[in-house]
Structure 1
Amino acid sequence: MGVVEEGVVGFGIIGCASIARKLSRAIGLAPNAAVVAVGSRSVDKSKRFISDNGLNPATVSAYGSYDEVLSDPAVDAVYVPLPTSLHLKWAVAAAEKGKHILLEKPVAVCAEDLDRILAACSAAGVQFMDSTMWMHHPRTAAMKQLLSDPDRFGQLRSVDSVFTFAADPEFLEKDIRVKPDLDALGALGDLGWYCARAILWAVDYDLPHSVTALRAPTANSAAVLLSCGASLTWKDGRVATFHCSFLAHLTMELAVVGSRGTLHLADFVIPMEESSAAFSFNSASGLSELATGWVEMPSQHFVRNETPQEVLMVAEFSRLVAGIRSGTGGSETKWPEISRKTQLVIDAVKSSIDLGFQPVEISP
């Protein structure tokens, strides 16, 4: 059984996926969290994970099953980086054991499954949060402040988001993200989740009226999406588009266009530097008299952060968990609500593809 100091949230990691290495480091760097248990389908794999990631085997328990992690009383919360197809089973099981849940994205195969997860969390009074790390970066708050300025940004008109990377042949053949029984949403779930979240963030989580998948998506022989996109529309005239792909060069672009200003950034998911993140903003720009250049050039903004965004995410999640545990706070509902809205957009894109690229209306 793992050991945890008083006032620190004990984490159990369920599954030894590669992303779990990053979160293991983040939990270790967070001042109010500690890894106390690791579970895999074999105890040897858990022990290797503990050793490879510099965890102390004297204070971190290695288990050969996920159930053992959930039964460990030192585990207050679980981080779940399992394939999406397993999220429903193990997130519900964790909630029923009273464990708070930090769930890797995409959080579910569909909104119906997510609703079952969230219902279990609500019934147990445990905190739910998805692992969309950039939401917790201080740059995100700085950008939102500019987007909320009516004099400099005005009214939002459009949002465009792109997240792609060029996967190697081994990834395209063997990775769980291209297997229909493990991560059936493919690039739409893995990369499109970030694009949809960025769009929703920009519009203050106002769900679009209609979603239409872009034609000519690319899928593998098992019908798992490798590349796709969508357009989103709101009744008041706002529009958005996104593109996600395993087949194009690494790109993480976000552009938010208002009636008076425009915000751009080139690394919205993972900042190019861990300790600093940049974005540009231009307001009231125009062309020179002979249209040979711009006037009012974009301003460059740099947001320094001593703490990586994934550590800030763990710290915030742990703060909420500690409040629930001490009786001084309740579960924060905004995080499950944001997750559900993101899932609804992803579901609508998939439905539009299945319906021959017809528009799909979203009902909350």
Structure 2
Amino acid sequence: MADLPIRFGIIGCAEIARKVSGAIQFTPDATLSTVDGRNVEKAANFAKANGFPPEAKIYGSYESLLDDQDVDAVYLPLPTSLHLKWAVLTAYPNGEARGLERCRTVERTSSGQKPVSDKLVVVNSCFTFCADPDFVKNDIRVKPDLEALGALGDAGWYGIRSILWMANYELPKAVTAIRNPVLNEAGVLLECGASQLWDNGKTATFHCSFLSNLTMNLTSIGTLGTLHLTDFIIPYQEHEASYTTSTKPGFNELVTGWVQLPSEHCHCGSTSVSVHGESLLSLNNTCNGLAAPRRMETS
């Protein structure tokens, strides 16, 4: 089974699905199997515009994919308010339990490991972008019936997921919202943040906003090392993933500069695998390890 390609289905033709479908095509051992739109014409146009293979199936309703046995993994680029319904329907078609998975971030270190340190101490994450007035007023991400969590449900998820990755997905014992979030007239979050605390003393903060300059920072600090990324969601260049590490730095004798300077690293995708596509490789490995029939969901 490990040699079989993972057959992806996409429910919905949202803009972000263009990027993900491209990443799937760049990924070895993966293929685009189906796309479901609100109607056949919309789905067909999406498939044509994004280079789906000729054999890909085109459906005109979200329900059509549920009975398709030729789909192993499902990507849901739908508004957050629809995730629960379609994640459950996708993972449990006909009441039968299937594998369930969510993927969001690119793990950049060469071995997928955290920076070398005795103990993880602090993680800080920030994703902001300055949306235009039309976005702030009309985008589905600021509509209470489509994305009730606003910036938290959109930009905030990346920061939360990155923190959980650094913490080996151990949930914090306490989460405290930062005071004075910014909301629109409908009560949807446009800017917010929170701090987290774990039993072993490590802490984390995240900030997300539709109202600030484009920033995608992730910093993880241990007792002996620091990992810092400045484009951890969308890389500066599609085929490159860069980061800096620092291990036991110090000051010079006069304390006018550093010694043991941070080192810069860059991993480049091959001609057949983009950096975006690399984030799907672990999903492929997991999916291939499931007992047939295989199905997973990503969102």
TM (normalized to structure 2)?
Answer: 0.88
- 2:5 match: 8
Amino acid of the structure 2 residue aligned with 1:237: G
Q: Which amino acid aligns with 1:73?
A: Q
User: What is the one-letter code of the residue matched to 1:134?
Assistant: V
Structure 2 residue ranges without an equivalent (≥5): none
Deviations 1:292-327 (A, max 9, x none): 222221122222332224323434333433443558
Say whether 1:131 aligns with 2:103.
yes
Offset at residue 62 of structure 1 (A): 2.0
CA distance in 2, matches of 1:296, 1:314: 35
Equivalent position of 1:53 in the other structure? 50
- Residue of structure 2 in register with 1:3 after alignment: none
> Which region of structure 1 is more displaced relative to structure 2, 23-32 or 84-93?
23-32
Aligned mates of 1:157, 1:89 — CA distance in 2 = 37
Give secondary structure in 2 for the equivalent of 1:200. Answer: helix
CA contact (8 A) 2:240 2:275 kept: no
CA distance in 2, matches of 1:10, 1:310: 17
Query: What is aligned with 1:155?
Result: 119
1:104-147 alpha-carbon deviations (Å, 9 max, x no partner): xxxxxxxxxxxxxxxx7xx51x2222131314xx4374551xx2
Listed one character per residue, the Cα deviations across residues 177-232 of structure 1 (whole Å, up to 9, x for unaligned) are 11111111111111111111222222222222211111111111111111101111
Give the 3 Å change call, closer, same or farther, for CA 298–142 of structure 1 in structure 2.
Answer: farther
- Give yes or no for the alignment of 1:243 onto 2:183: no
1:75 deviates by: 2.7
Match of 1:173 in 2: 137
Q: Cα–Cα, structure 1 residues 141 and 315, in superposed 2: closer, same or farther, change >3 Å? A: closer
Identity of aligned residues (%): 46
| Contact persistence 2:9–2:33 (CA under 8 A) | yes
Query: For residues 1-364 of structure 1, what are the structure 2 equivalents within 5 Å?
Result: 7-56=4-53, 58-97=54-93, 124=97, 126-135=98-107, 138-139=108-109, 141=111, 144=114, 147=115, 149=116, 153-306=117-270, 307-325=273-291
Distance in structure 2 (CA, Å) of the matches to 1:231 and 1:10: 39
> Secondary structure of 1:243's partner?
strand
Deviation (angstroms), 1:12: 2.0
SS at match of 2:101: strand
**1:154: how far off?**
3.0
1:128 maps to a residue whose letter is: L
Amino acid at match of 2:65: V
Amino acid at match of 1:129: E
Q: Which amino acid is the alignment partner of residue 29 of structure 2?
A: N
Tell me which amino acid in the other structure corresponds to 2:248.
A
Verify the 8 A CA contact 2:36 2:60 in the aligned structure 1.
yes
How far does residue 253 in structure 1 lie from its aligned partner after superposition? 0.8
* Partners of 1:321 and 1:155 in 2: CA distance: 32
Deviation, 1:172, is 1.1
> Structure 2 counterpart of 1:52, which letter?
A
Aligned amino acid, residue 269 of structure 2: N
CA distances 1:2-32 after superposition (whole Å, capped 9, x unpaired): xxxx933332211000111112112222232
* Count, aligned residues: 295
Q: Is the 8 A contact 1:160 1:256 kept in 2?
A: yes
RCO comparison, higher one (Cα < 8 Å, 6+): 2
Distance 1:315 1:278 in 2: 18
Do 1:44 and 1:64's aligned partners in 2 also have CA atoms closer than 8 Å?
yes
Name the TM-score, length of structure 1 as normaliser. 0.74
> How far apart in 1 are the matches of 2:125 and 2:174?
17
Which AA in structure 2 matches 1:245?
S
Match of 1:303, as an amino acid? Answer: H
CA RMSD of aligned residues (A): 2.6
Deviations 1:16-72 (A, max 9, x none): 00111112112222232222221111111111111211224x412222111122233
Structure 2 counterpart of 1:86, which letter?
A: L
| Counterpart Cα distance in 1 of 2:144 and 2:186 | 7
Structure with greater proportional helix content: 1
SS in 2 for 1:132: coil
Please tell me whether the aligned partners of residues 139 and 277 of structure 1 are also in contact (alpha carbons under 8 angstroms).
no
